[in-house]
Amino acid sequence: MVKTSYLEASRQALAEEMRRDDTVWALGEDLGRGGVFGQYKGLVDEFGPERISDAPISEACIAGAAVGAAMMGTRPVVEMRFSDFALCATDEIVNQAAKARFMFGGQLGVPLVMRQPTGAWRSSAAQHSQSLEAWYAHIPGLVVTAPATVADAKALLKAAIRCDDPVIHLEHKDLWAFEEEIPAGIDAAPLGAARIAREGEDVTIVTWSKMVHTALEAANALTDKGISAEIIDLRTLWPWDREAVYASVRKTGRAIVAHEAVLVGGFGGEIAARIGEDLYDQLKAPVRRLGAPRIPVSYAPPLEREYHVPAERIAEAAQALAARG
C-alpha cells in the first residue's frame, strides 16, 4: 500500500498509460507548466512537447483536433481546465465525438478522454464551479466517469484512456489534495461497476464524486441514531450499475440519491425514476432526491455554502425515511 493524493494518482495514471501505449498523448492549455492544478507536473520532461502538447486558448480547437486525432488512431487525453470551459466545445463533444461511431456504421471510434475538473471549490464563482454530469449522461455515445477516491482517480482514468469510445472524465477540484493509501501497481477499473463504500441495512444512499465523502460523514452520524446506511459510489454515471443499486435497495427498502449538481434535471432524477419504476413494490418509502438549489454558485463563501448539500441534510432525509415502514 502506498499513500498518495487524488492529484498524484491521476498524474501517475496518465504517465503509466503513456509509457504503455505510445498512441496516448495529452493536449490542452498550460500542460507544459504542469497544468493549472499540477496534474501534469514533470510529464513534459519525460514525454516531450509532442505528447504533452500545449494548445491555444480555444476549447473548440482543442476538442476538434482531439476528435480528428482519435479518428486517425491515437488516444488523446484532453484537458479542459474546468468543466465549464468545455461548453465552448459542445459541438465537437456532442455532435462529433459522441456520434462518429454511429454515423460511420461502426467503422471507427473516437477513443478520447476529456478531463473536466468539476464542482464548487474555494470561491471559484459561477463560471468555474458547475457540475454538468447530467448533460453528458444524456448524450448517446458518451461514457461518463466520476471518481471519488484516490484509487479510482487512477483506476478510472486508466480505464477511460483504454476505452474505445469518448469518455467525459469528471475530477472534483476539491478532491485534488485528498490522500489515502492505495495498492501499489493499481490497474484499470471496469467501467460501469459501482462500489459499496459502506455496507448498511436501513437505507441506501446512491451518490458519486465528492458527495461520496459527504454521504459517509452522514452515515457516521446516523450510526448514533441507530440507523445503518449503505453508501453506493456509482463511479461511472454512464453506464451506471443498476444491478448494484437495485440489490442494495431491495435489501434496505429505502433510497436517497444525492449529488452536488443542481437538483432540477440532475442525473439523480434518472436513478430515482428507475428505482421507483422497477422496485416500486419493494420500497418502504418514496425515493428521495437531494441536490443543489437552482442558483448560480456564488463567489461569497457563505452563499457558496448554501449551494452545497451538507451531511446534515442527508442524515435528516435518511432519518425521515427510516421512520417510515
| Residues with a known catalytic role | 128
Strand ranges in the chain using DSSP code E only, listed in sequence order:
2-5, 24-28, 52-54, 75-79, 113-118, 143-145, 167-172, 179-182, 195-198, 203-207, 229-233, 236-238, 255-262, 288-292
Backbone dihedral angles phi then psi of residue 58, each to the nearest 5 degrees: -155, 100
Question: What's the chain's length in residues?
Answer: 325
Rounded Cα gap, residues 200 and 184, in angstroms: 29
| Closest CA relative to residue 191, chosen from 143, 232, 228 | 143
- Find how far residue 172's CA is from the centre of its chain: 7
Rounded Cα gap, residues 12 and 3, in angstroms: 13
All cell numbers assigned to 120 = 464548487
Strands 195-198 and 229-233, sheet pairing = antiparallel
